Structure formats: structure tokens, C-alpha cells
Amino acid sequence: MGEQTKASARVAGPRDGAEGGAPPVIDAAFARWLAERAGQELLRVRAELGHADGKALKAAGDKAAHDLLRAELARWRPADAVLSEEDEHARVAWRDGEPGMVRPDRLSASRVWIVDPLDGTREYSEEGRTDWAVHVALWTADACKSDASCLSAGAVAMPARHRTIATDNPPAYPPMPLESATGGAIRIAASRTRPPAFVTALAEELGAELVPMGSAGVKIAAVISGEADAYVHAGGQYEWDSAAPVAVALATGLHASRIDGTPLSYNQADPKLPDLVVCRKDLAPRLLAAISKHLPPQ
């Protein structure tokens, strides 16, 4: 091999593992790139398998998106730790001896990617539904200096909606809703398949309307776009369900906290993060006060 060839072998080529060239260097833009790539993979799998066997489609989608995220993170961010829904469920260690797969322990790492390869898995398997997403967030020790969530970047790709929201270009703060459009009622985004009893009681207390939809990411995106005024959840969830959309909500200037008003903390030893509220800042005091009357048992 000549010197010229040797040198060029070390330089990333235009199609060096990434379609259309190497990914962005800036983390937030990389998060967007990664979430969108996994989203395209999910669309491909959905088109290929169809909806005849929903269970098989969910499993294939989860795996395809997870494998893509895992491979690209190993390739482009090999020194960072990763917390992924699918790894936790499958109990697959990243330290499994595959080249490029050796990862630092996330609890002592200074950079941790928190990813949900497919949020709204149920909706993904249902024909015609677009309320599912890919979540990619970055937790860094550095970001803890400025925000308790320690989230320094995040992207939520909603490929079936042709929409991605990310911290590289945070969306505008949502407009105040017109009373003529909402009748003055607060619109709370809630799970379409298992809305927590606590949220139903809260809605009654506030005279609020529940807006059912799938995926935590899509619900927070709905608050950001102004389609809903708040997302309130309790009773169970994990860090990967909220990290990326909360990163975008915070970058947009929205309120995001636990339902008791304390900060959301990520990259904890136990990845359970069972409740949260995301809303416009003007709404937070009223919502938190009403929530405090309906706090579910811990």
C-alpha cells in the first residue's frame, strides 16, 4: 500500500459508515442526526413487515432502531457511556467483547447517551398511527453546573410526522392558547392506552381536557407546539422515556419537573423516573398546586 493510500485510509471518507458522510461533530446536531437515522430505519421496517403481526413488528422495530443506535454510538462516540431501554430490558452488557463496544461504566462516566430506540412502541405497531418517536439525549457531568437535569443535548425524531425537535435548534416557546379555541380549559396530554387514575382526578379538579396520544416524546412535543398545555404523568416510566424530550422542553424554556416540583434527575443508579410534569412556565404554579392535592402513593 502506498503512502497516499495509507494516509487516505485514516481519513473519514464521504460514505464512511454514515449515509451522506460523517455525522455532525457538535453533540446536539449529532443527536438529531442519530434520532433521524433510527427513525428512517423504523419506517423501513414498518413498510417491509406491515401490520399483520403487531408483536413481530414491535420486536423488529425495537431491535432495528436499537442496533442502529448502538452501532453508530460505538462508531462515532466510542468513549461515551450509554443507557438504552433495549439494553436494560435484554440485560445486554455493552462490555461484551465486540470491537468498539467496550463502554465506560455510566455511573462514573462524564458523558452518557440516554436513548429510547422506539417510544410509543404500541402505536408504532398500529396502522396509520404517527405518535411514536426515537429519543436520543446526552447527559454530561459538565451540564450539571448549569441545570439539575444535567442534560446537555437531546433530539426527538417523529419520522411518521416528518418532524424532529432537538436542542441544536430549539423550537420556539409555545404560543398562549386562544380562549376562543380551547374554551379556557387546560389541555393535558395523557397516555391513550393507560392514563393514570391520578391524571384523570387532576383533570376533574382543574376542569381540564385530556388529550390522548401515544409516546412520552410525542406528548412533550405537543406541549412544545401548543397542541396541549401540559403533559402530566405518574405511576411509572424510565429515564429514557423522558430524557430527550425534556432536554428539548428545557431548551425551549418550558417548565419540566417531577410532579412534586423537584428537578428531574438523570443517569441515576436506578433508571426508574416514574413521574413528571412539562408545561408552560405560567401554568406551572397552578398545575403543581392542583397536583399536590392528588399526589399518588409512592
- Binding of ligand A3P by 216 (CB under 6 A): yes
Cell 423522558 locates to 242
Nearer to ligand A3P, 194 or 286 (CB): 194
Give the neighbor-by-neighbor strand order of the sheet with 81-84.
Answer: 81-84, 111-119, 133-140, 151-158, 163-166
Annotated binding site: 85, 116, 118-119, 241
User: What is the chain written as a DSSP string?
Assistant: --HHHHHHHHSPPTTSSSTTSSPPSSHHHHHHHHHHHHHHHHHHHHHHH-SSSHHHHHHHHHHHHHHHHHHHHHHH-TTSEEEEHHHHHHT--S-SS-TT-----TTT-SEEEEEEEEESHHHHTSTT----EEEEEEEETGGGGT-TT-EEEEEEEEGGGTEEEETTSPPPPPPPPPHHHHTT--EEEEESS---HHHHHHHHHHT-EEEEES-HHHHHHHHHHTS-SEEEE-S--BHHHHHHHHHHHHHHT-EEE-TTSPPP--S-SS-B---EEEE-TTTHHHHHHHHHTSPPP-
Near ligand A3P by CB under 6 A: residue from 104, 235, 261, 296: 235
- Binding of Mg ion by 116 (CB under 5 A): yes
Annotated binding site for Mg(2+): 85, 116, 118-119, 241
- Binding of ligand A3P by 167 (CB under 6 A): no
Nearer to ligand A3P, 193 or 268 (CB): 193
- Which among 293, 272, 155, 273 has a CA at the least distance from the CA of 224? 155
Each residue 236-275 as x (binds ligand A3P by CB under 6 A) or -, in order, gives: xx---x----------------------------------
Residues 239-268 binding Mg ion (CB under 5 A) are: 241
- Binding of ligand A3P by 215 (CB under 6 A): yes
Residue 40 contact, options Mg ion, ligand A3P, none, Cβ 5-8 Å cut-off depending on partner type: none
Near ligand A3P by CB under 6 A: residue from 80, 119, 168, 239: 119
Please identify the residue of the shown chain whose CB is closest to the bound ligand A3P: 236
Nearer to ligand A3P, 94 or 240 (CB): 240
Each residue 183-202 as x (binds ligand A3P by CB under 6 A) or -, in order, gives: --------x-xx--------
- Binding of ligand A3P by 89 (CB under 6 A): no
Minimum Å distance from CB 202 to Mg ion? 22
Nearer to ligand A3P, 120 or 154 (CB): 120
- Binding of ligand A3P by 168 (CB under 6 A): no
Residues that bind ligand A3P (CB under 6 A): 85, 116, 119-121, 191, 193-194, 214-216, 235-237, 241
For binding to Mg ion (CB under 5 A), which residues are involved?
A: 116, 119, 241
